[in-house]
Chains A and B, each alone.
Chain A
Amino acid sequence: MKKISTISLFIFGVVLTSILTAGLVFYQDNKTSKSSLFKAKTVQNVTSSTNTSTTKITPSNKTMTLNMNEISKHNSETDCFMLISGKVYDITSFFGSHPGGNSTMAPTCGTDATNAYMTKDPYATDSTSGRGHSSRAKNMLNDYYIGDLNQTIAL
């Protein structure tokens, strides 16, 4: 029985060390790659105006107004906007990574997903039943933020 514990401890140590090392080494890369395309462009637009941008994406003059009409156009797994508590998120690149599976997110693409997000139930009609997402999930969601409702953003 001591053997089982020893082997488990060993595997645990190896996996933990490799994840922490990999996480630290690739931390810089991930900082930018995690952000969605839209966010990168928005940030880029802001930074380019102060002349400190080093990214290669060229600024454009196109804009988009994040109203319900616009959000509802992005209603598929390959192009998915969601409105959550007044903020608009482009979660297209998050498909395939959601712990609950794609099927729990797909029905709310292009809609106000606030209730679904608060309750973890895609068909929820209010935000009080069930339990919401963890603060870890909330932090991750911030990475996909593209703007507030009715805000005009640059493309």
Chain B
Amino acid sequence: MNIIIVLSIIPVVIWSFMMPLSLRFADINSITTSVGQILGLIGMTLFSINLILAGRFKFLDRYFKGLDKVYVNHSKIGSISFSFLLFHPLFLVVKYILISTSTAALFFVPFTDMPITWGIISLSLMIILISTTFYIKLKYNIWKISHKGMTIAFIFAIIHTLMISSDVSRNHFLAFYILSLAIIGLLVSIRQVFLSNFKKKLNFRVKNVKQLNQDIVEIEMEPLGKVLSFIPGQFAFFSFISSNVSSESHPFSISSSSKDNNLKITVKNLGDYTSLLKNLKEGDSVIVDGPYGNFSYKNILNKNQIWVAGGIGVTPFFSMANDLDDSYNINFYYTVKDTIEAVYVKEFNEISQKNFNFKFKLWSTKDNGYINGESIVNLSNGLKDKDIFFCGPPVLMESLKEQFVLLGVDVKKIHYENFNF
């Protein structure tokens, strides 16, 4: 996150050395113009960075400690960048308002000035695409296509930056900085949007589809070529080539053991797409892009750990439990609304019978009420020197995190997976 702040402040620093600041902030005219310019510079930088973040790079996965966190930041930065770019013309128009309102109105009319027109087209497209993202509930695959349109808005924004007479056109260093970031962003985005087939991906085929209970289905896949080597707890993007399911890629935690060559994912029916996965047939092709994520008991040196799964958040823990050896001391809590919703209970019990250092507890909200920090402390003989892993509904994770911090747990010892990116 810090590096992103530094990257977006650099253009402002270059800009501030181009002209004495006393001239930049002399009167209402120059102040509003300066603020408008700064917003444009930062907005454009953040937009470029955000396209890079969307590139599913391994180095980002490592730097942000999990690709799920990269996507959380992508959505935050996107909102900030969008707001900056919206205010960019609002500040620049002030000097025209001071001349007359009709001059100001002309500023927003396309085709009166070509460089500004590109900016108007770019911003209008962004407004349309972002509004559909936020306010209309689109099906994921349609949303994904509409979100890709942001790349086109970005191309218009680059043309606007190149053509407009501004500090970017007057300072070669500033121009170089803004444009190189933009070009990197654009190349990443084009690779992600249009050339996704050229990325290194693995081919699998569906071997077995098993309904575990009313809502949860387990899909087993076997490799057609190379196997996927991953650390238990990680996730991957899966796209199924099948007549029953649309082919866009979706992220799922891997629920099988890393010792197994076959991959398993365990999916809860949460709507359109996930409700169709039960219709997959043996032999359907699967393209796997991964692994990603930093959520694993193996990434922590401390071998005393508490694991908390909420609902379908159990999937990474199932993979981890199957991999575990008895050098780890684990207290695992699996919370569900009702015990009939729970999956893999038999398997977890078997593991805990073989490995006495793995203590498993199924927690039903219907029988025991919501699980809380205090009950976990009591059942686990204290929290001292223990790392805590959560995966489940965001509300549960936030609430437990807050409770553990109040109980004196260091935030650095709390690890969680953002399921909803």
Q: Do chains A and B interact in one complex?
A: yes
- A residues contacting B by CB (< 8 A) are 1-2, 4-9, 11-12, 15-16, 19-20, 22-24, 26-27, 30-31, 33-34, 96-101, 103, 130-136, 139-140
The CB with the most chain A CB atoms within 10 A, among B30, B90, B99, is that of B99
Cα distance, A34 to B101, chains bound together (Å):
11
Q: CB-defined interface of B83-96 with A at 8 Å, one 1/0 digit per residue?
A: 10011001001010
A73 to chain B, nearest CB (A): 26
Say which residue of B33, B79, B104 sits within 8 Å of A19 (CB atoms): B104
Cα distance, A5 to B115, chains bound together (Å):
25
B190 an interface residue at 8 Å Cβ cutoff?
no
Task: Tell which of B8-16, B105-113, B212-220 binds the partner.
Answer: B105-113
Say which residue of B23, B103, B105 sits within 8 Å of A101 (CB atoms): B23
Contact A99 B30 (CB under 8 A): yes
A26 and chain B: residue at smallest CB distance? B101
- B residues contacting A by CB (< 8 A) are 23, 26-27, 29-30, 33, 75-76, 78-80, 82-83, 86-87, 90, 93, 95, 97-108, 112-116, 127, 130-131, 134, 164-165, 169-170
Cα distance, A27 to B27, chains bound together (Å):
27
Contacts of A140 in B (CB 8 A): 99, 103
Say which residue of B29, B79, B113 sits within 8 Å of A97 (CB atoms): B29
Given that A4-B83, A6-B134, A12-B90 are contacting pairs, would A101 and B26 also be in contact in the complex, using a CB cutoff of 8 Å?
A: yes
Contacts of B130 in A (CB 8 A): 5, 9
Cα distance, A4 to B81, chains bound together (Å):
10
Contact A2 B169 (CB under 8 A): no
Given that A9-B127, A12-B86, A12-B87 are contacting pairs, would A101 and B101 also be in contact in the complex, using a CB cutoff of 8 Å?
A: no
6 A-B pairs with least C-beta separation = A23-B105, A8-B83, A1-B79, A22-B101, A30-B102, A12-B86
Say which residue of B83, B102, B127 sits within 8 Å of A23 (CB atoms): B102
Contact B100 A33 (CB under 8 A): yes
24 CB < 8 A contacts A-B: A1-B78, A2-B134, A4-B80, A5-B83, A5-B130, A6-B134, A8-B82, A8-B83, A11-B87, A12-B90, A19-B93, A19-B101, A20-B105, A23-B101, A23-B104, A26-B100, A30-B100, A30-B102, A33-B100, A97-B99, A101-B23, A131-B165, A133-B165, A134-B164
- The binding surface of chain B is classed by DSSP as helix
Contact B23 A103 (CB under 8 A): yes
Given that A1-B79, A131-B169, A135-B113 are contacting pairs, would A101 and B29 also be in contact in the complex, using a CB cutoff of 8 Å?
A: yes
Contacts of B115 in A (CB 8 A): 134
Contact B113 A8 (CB under 8 A): no
Contact B165 A2 (CB under 8 A): no
Contacts of A23 in B (CB 8 A): 101-106
Cα distance, A56 to B144, chains bound together (Å):
64
Contacts of B102 in A (CB 8 A): 23-24, 26-27, 30-31
Cα distance, A2 to B102, chains bound together (Å):
33
Contacts of A31 in B (CB 8 A): 102
Contact A9 B27 (CB under 8 A): no
Cα distance, A1 to B130, chains bound together (Å):
12
Contacts of A4 in B (CB 8 A): 79-80, 83
Contacts of B27 in A (CB 8 A): 101
Cα distance, A134 to B401, chains bound together (Å):
55
A37 to chain B, nearest CB (A): 16
Given that A1-B79, A5-B82 are contacting pairs, would A99 and B95 also be in contact in the complex, using a CB cutoff of 8 Å?
A: yes
A120 to chain B, nearest CB (A): 8
Contact A15 B90 (CB under 8 A): yes
Cα distance, A26 to B99, chains bound together (Å):
13
B420 to chain A, nearest CB (A): 13
Contact B29 A30 (CB under 8 A): no
Contact B86 A130 (CB under 8 A): no
Extra inter-chain contacts (7) besides given A12-B86, A31-B102, A140-B103, CB under 8 Å: A5-B83, A6-B134, A8-B82, A16-B108, A26-B100, A26-B101, A96-B98
